Amino acid sequence: MSPTTARVTSVDTYDIRFPTSRELDGSDAMNPDPDYSAAYVVLRTDAADAPEGHGFAFTIGRGNDVQVAAIEALRGQVLGRSVDALCADPASLYRDLTGDSQLRWLGPEKGVAHMAVGAVVNAVWDLAARRARKPLWRLLADAEPEWLVEQADFRYLTDVLTPGDALDLLRRGRKGADERRARLLERGYPAYTTSPGWLGYDDAKLTRLARRAVADGFTQIKLKVGADLDDDIRRCRTARAAVGPDIRLALDANQRWDVPEAIRWTTALAAFDPYWIEEPTSPDDILGHAAIRRAVAPVKVATGEHAQNRVVVKQLLQAGAIDVLQLDAARVGGVNENLAILLLAARFGVPVCPHAGGVGLCELVQHLAMFDYLAVSGTTDDRVIEYVDHLHEHFLDPVVVRDGHYTAPAAPGFSAALRPESIARYTYPGGTFWAADLAERTRKEQAV
Amino acid sequence: MSPTTARVTSVDTYDIRFPTSRELDGSDAMNPDPDYSAAYVVLRTDAADAPEGHGFAFTIGRGNDVQVAAIEALRGQVLGRSVDALCADPASLYRDLTGDSQLRWLGPEKGVAHMAVGAVVNAVWDLAARRARKPLWRLLADAEPEWLVEQADFRYLTDVLTPGDALDLLRRGRKGADERRARLLERGYPAYTTSPGWLGYDDAKLTRLARRAVADGFTQIKLKVGADLDDDIRRCRTARAAVGPDIRLALDANQRWDVPEAIRWTTALAAFDPYWIEEPTSPDDILGHAAIRRAVAPVKVATGEHAQNRVVVKQLLQAGAIDVLQLDAARVGGVNENLAILLLAARFGVPVCPHAGGVGLCELVQHLAMFDYLAVSGTTDDRVIEYVDHLHEHFLDPVVVRDGHYTAPAAPGFSAALRPESIARYTYPGGTFWAADLAERTRKEQAV
């Protein structure tokens, strides 16, 4: 691609909220009524081929405006940047955003401030992949190991993973990539489904959806647990009866328990042969996860969707706290930090089974898992991407799951772009859906 | 106090920024040019005696607007609450704010979202202490152990500290409190000073301020390090020469290093007999701090000002990662969470030397340290509160430090209220200081 003088000319943000709480989709022991939301950002440029970069942070409703404000606080660092320079070296922006000495105080590198960095950085990677006319997984898998090492963030990791270690991993990792790519394009990447197991569903719906999941080719399903032990025993029995003994049954407590309670509760459900217990306690409790893992084996311990950054992931691995790392595409500082996280997992030989669902998390994370398969871990053994069949219709390039596998995306970019009509409808509070909803509520209140 | 029907009638927020970057006050290896700021909140009520509750999160400039937005996201949970109920049981609000299922996703319990909870919760404690006509330290020290246990947050802590354990600690802790109170009122609580050691000061200023600190009665000073090793060696030598061998010399790296570098650098400075090395690496790296502590002993390891919540503090103590816990009054979820943190420290026998400085952190944290002395740890041995002589003039009830000791505050409340004229001058960007500053910048730009 010949050099251009193109610049980032605008950084547009959107507060997008979907009214998912009305169907109890997404209900779990900690999150009874989420309205799945995206703090969404579009980088526009004056490039002749007019590509845009799309990114977002996922939230579950209230506070999505705060998340948007945090993205807007980064605008000044992005506006006017050279598109060529950004796409050649996304790490240059990543470092400026995570290193901003004043904004850093708001984290550092965690929560609202860090998710804002992730949204903007992922938008740059979307832009870079569109310009390269490749899906992101392919851009990453085709890249030289030396460049990938420059893109990964090793700060605070060098006691366990140096750039030199990473280069070795990536050089070894790419061997056989051509064969794996052929297999990926043919078969896709294995998925598991959470759709049957939301806490708000009754047993009949659980049974029906669990059977459908098996019929659809999934070999693992997931149940939300943690609100009531008797209910959980009944629901696990129901699910196990529905799917038979050979389907993996994962359990997800969504941080509901203290450490002793996590051990007691998981032990009480062990009779149903759960494959893993996910988020048994606070996502910040590395040593707690390690204690739980020691106590509940052979049930595996999985976490990561709320792991705030690579430093927490490093310690989960160092402490032997997890069997499964559930990387999240939008919780941390974007692709640059997730490159480091994938390398950490490979270094410790722990399988990555990415967290997905929400708004667009399936769309994003498939690229990272496919890159990992082609160029880092080199395997899909014991690796599955979460799949939830919600809200994909709002994306321009939605995931395609067939026979229990994610199909490799073909369109250029990071699959992050929402449909313009969805943005117009679900922008909060001014979009057509919410404006009508507010008018209806006002009418009902006045009628009372 | 007789029951009232008083309610919280408004939750007013202010974006307050002080232009500290112009003097290099507060400069360190990670924060070269902070503008010390407060995302400030006032709870107003319709109570007949018209008390208000003041609280704030501390930030260092950019992003203070995001912090204000996060506080505003909590407004709906506070407005209309009964003042009697809030003051009798601040934990009821604390639990609602930390447990809000949608807002929780923004953390959970970390960063911008959690500091917002801390600001509001601390404002309630300020209100409660004003209504009780006691300084907060006294309200806490006079309280029954059973009530304090109800106020502390034990969630995710019960593997190491149960409410029953805490009750035992508090019952033992109050023995001899009357004598200690008399001593506190007479002597105050020991302080150390960071004012000589900012990275932006030259050697002459360092020497002059270090000597003045000793003359002023301080027995410990602190130096910022971590930007350049040769400079640090020279500055440590200069400081040690200025204060002599008997004054404790603490070093603060403000998260600058990876683990191996922290060990190398601290070892290189060991010749100057540093008392502690503070924030040697990422505040999230519990296992990293433990490794550094093992390697640099007898130099102590101190951290805590960026410990995002009680779960991280629990692990720092469990892992043997720290010699000194630097509790912060405004980083975590307010007094309710800091009660749990003080109890954790007492349980592990680790001294608390609170982080202060910033905007109003000295004002807040003295109350917690004095309560700890009277009712929890029962000692000031090896315990000092940080003191920085900045920005106290903006507070209605500023700290008073005499002969190296904080004087016990006498005024009712949490010492959190800013002077109205300071709010009017330093509100960003509309206050009189910033409006004039902006006009001056515009004039200069137009003149170029």
- Bridge partners (DSSP) listed for residue A190: A405
Does any domain span residue A145? Answer: no
Contact call for B70 and A60, based on CB within 8 A: no
Of B309, B377, B318, the closest CA to residue B113 belongs to: B309
- pLDDT number for residue A395: 98
- Render pLDDT for A43-62 as a digit per residue (tens, 0 to 9): 999 998 878 999 999 999 99
Neighbours of A192 (CB within 10 A): 21
Q: Which chain B residue lies closest to A61 (C-alpha atoms)?
A: B102
Tell me the catalytic residues of A. 224, 355
Average pLDDT over residues B128-153: 98
Handedness of CA B171, B173, B175, B177 (dihedral sign): negative
A209 closest CA partner among A197, A191, A223:
A197
Cβ neighbours of residue B440 closer than 8 Å, sequence gap 6 or more: none
Chain B: nearest CA to A305, how far in angstroms? Answer: 11
Beta bridge partners of A189: A406
Distance, in Å, from the CA atom of A306 to the CA atom of B105, rounded to the nearest integer, reads 9
Q: What pLDDT does A25 receive? A: 65
CA-wise closest residue to A251 among A283, A279, A222: A222
pLDDT band for position A23 (50/70/90)?
confident
Average pLDDT of chain B? 96
Share of chain B above pLDDT 90, in %: 92
Output the CA torsion sign for B259, B262, B265, B270.
Answer: negative
By Cβ distance, the residue of B62, B110, B260 closest to A159 is B260
Our CA-based measurement puts residue B234 at a distance from the nearest CA of chain A, in whole angstroms, of 25
Average pLDDT taken over every residue of chain A: 96
In this prediction, residue B23 carries a pLDDT of 72
Check CB contact under 8 Å for A106 and B111.
yes
- Active-site pick, B110, B222, B355, B390: B355
CA distance B118 to chain A (A): 13
Residues A271 and A292: their CA atoms lie apart, in Å, by 17
- Are A34 and B282 in contact (CB < 8 Å)? no
Interchain proximity B284–A34, CB inside 8 Å: no
**Per residue in A340-350, is it b (16+ CB within 10 Å) or e — as a string?**
bbbbbbbbbeb
Asked if residue B282 belongs to a domain, the reply is yes
Q: Which run of H or E residues covers position A222?
A: strand A220-224
Q: Are B113 and A110 within 8 A, CB to CB?
A: no
Cβ <8 Å between B110 and A65? no
Q: Mind telling me how many Å the CA of B442 is from chain A's nearest CA?
A: 18
Average pLDDT over every residue of A159-181: 97
pLDDT of residue B445: 86
Least confident of A184-198, B26-40, B82-96, B215-229: B26-40
When mean pLDDT is compared across A181-195, B271-285, B434-448, the lowest value belongs to: B434-448
**Pick from B177, B176, B222: nearest CA to B201:** B222
Q: For a pLDDT cut of 70, what percent of chain B falls above it?
A: 99
Q: Mind listing the pLDDT tens digit for each residue in B315-350?
A: 999 999 999 999 999 999 999 999 999 999 999 999
Residue A253 is given by DSSP the state -
Percent of chain A at pLDDT exceeding 70? 99
Verify whether the Cβ–Cβ distance A101 to B319 is below 8 Å. Answer: no
Q: Which of A106, A261, A306 sits opposite B108 (nearest CB)?
A: A306
Residues B338 and B384 in one domain: yes
The model's confidence at residue A24, banded by pLDDT at 50, 70 and 90, is low
The span from the CA of A259 to the CA of B228, in Å, is 43
CA distance A321 to A277: 12
Residue with the bigger pLDDT between A197 and A302: it is: A302
Domain count, chain A: 2
What value does the mean pLDDT take over residues B57-76? 97
Same domain, B432 and B406: no
pLDDT of residue A76: 96
Chain B contact set for A114 (CB, 8 A): 111
Q: Contact, B46 vs B7, CB < 8 A?
A: yes
Give me the amino acid identity at A356: A
* B202 band by pLDDT with thresholds 50, 70 and 90: very high
Residue A20 in domain:
yes
- The answer to whether position B146 is within a domain reads no
Which residues of chain A from 236 to 265 reach within 8 Å of chain B, CB to CB? 255, 258-261
To probe the interface with A, which of B112, B331, B428 has the most A CB atoms within 10 Å?
Answer: B112
A156 touches B at CB < 8 Å: yes
Residue A295 domain-assigned? Answer: yes
Residue B447, pLDDT > 90, answer no
How far, in Å, CA of A138 to CA of A131, rounded? 13
Let me know whether B425 and B400 are in one domain.
no
Residues A327 and A398 in one domain: yes
DSSP conformation letters of A6-41: -BEEEEEEEEEE--GGGGTTT--SS-SS---EEEEE
How many whole angstroms separate alpha carbon A355 and alpha carbon A346?
17
Is residue B262 located within the same domain as residue B127? Answer: no
Residues B323 and B361 in one domain: yes
Are B189 and B125 within one domain?
A: no
Which one, of B327, B330, B329, B319, lies nearest residue B294 by Cα? B319
**pLDDT score, position B49:** 82
* Distance (Å) of CA A427 to CA A69, A117, A436, B339: 15, 21, 12, 41
- The domain that holds A40 is classified in CATH as 3.30.390.10
Residue A445 lies in a domain: no
Distance set, CA A137 to CA A117, A344, A377, A409, B43 (Å): 20, 19, 14, 8, 50
Average pLDDT over residues B116-135: 98
Give the pLDDT mean for B58-84.
97
For helices B163-173 and B335-348, what crossing angle results, to 10°? 80
* Exposure string over A358-394, b if 16+ CB within 10 A, otherwise e: bbbbbbbbbbbbbbbbbbbbbebeebbbbbbbbbbeb
pLDDT tier at B21, thresholds 50, 70, 90: confident
Q: Which residue has the tokens 């998981």?
A: A266
Residue with tokens 């470092």: A95
Beta strands B401-402 and B405-406 are antiparallel
Closest C-alpha to A67, from A39, A31, A107:
A39
The domain of B447 spans 421-448
Does residue B25 register a pLDDT over 70?
Answer: no
**Is there a single domain that holds both residue A105 and residue A195?**
no
CATH, residue B181:
3.20.20.120
Residue of B388, B41, B346, B8 whose CA lies nearest to B191 = B388
> Same domain for B187 and B300?
yes
Is B426 inside any structural domain? yes
* Residue A70 at interface with chain B, using a CB cutoff of 8 Å: yes
Residue B255, pLDDT > 80, answer yes
Contact A364, A397 (CB under 8 A): no
pLDDT over 70 at A118, yes or no: yes
Q: From the CA atom positions of chain B, what is the Rg in Å?
A: 21
Interface predicted TM-score of the whole assembly (ipTM), two decimals: 0.97
Cβ proximity of B288 and A159 under 8 Å: yes
How many Å separate Cα A405 from the centre of its chain?
17
Of the three residues A133, A148, A164, the one that is the final residue of a domain is: A133
Query: Residues of A numbered 342-361 whose beta carbons fall under 8 angstroms of chain B's beta carbons: which are they?
Result: none
B287–A157 CB contact, under 8 Å: no
Shortest CA gap A419–chain B (Å): 25
> Is pLDDT at B379 greater than 70 in this prediction?
yes
**Domain end point (choices B135, B168, B194):** B135
Report whether A201 contacts A24 (CB < 8 A): yes
pLDDT at position B31: 72
Token pair 């974006």 in the structure block, residue:
B15
Cβ contacts of B163 within 8 Å, gap of 6 or more: B149, B152, B154
- Position B2 in a domain: no
- pLDDT score for B1: 63
What does the alpha-carbon distance between residue A297 and residue A267 come to, in Å, rounded to a whole number? 9
Chain B's closest residue to A36, CA to CA, is B102
Whether residue A184 is found in the same domain as residue A284:
yes
pLDDT digits (tens, 9 = 90+) for A229-247: 999 999 999 999 999 999 9
Residues B108/A283, Cβ–Cβ less than 8 Å: yes
| Rounded distance between C-alpha atoms, residue B417 and residue B279, angstroms | 29
Binned at pLDDT 50, 70 and 90, residue A430 comes out as: very high
> Which residues 6+ apart lie within 8 Å of B297 measured at CB?
none
Among the three residues B84, B114, B135, which one is the final residue of a domain in this structure?
A: B135
Amino acid, res. B306: H
User: What's the whole-number mean pLDDT along residues B312-316?
Assistant: 98
How confident is the model over A263-297, as pLDDT tens digits?
999 999 999 999 999 999 999 999 999 999 999 99
Concatenating the DSSP letter of every residue in A311-346 gives HHHHHHHHTT--SEE---TTTSS-HHHHHHHHHHHH
Say whether B155 and A258 touch across the interface (CB within 8 A): yes
Over 90: is that where the pLDDT of A32 sits? no
Statement to judge: residues B98 and B234 lie in one domain = no
Question: Do B429 and B393 share a domain, yes or no?
Answer: no
Tell me the average pLDDT across B97-118. 96
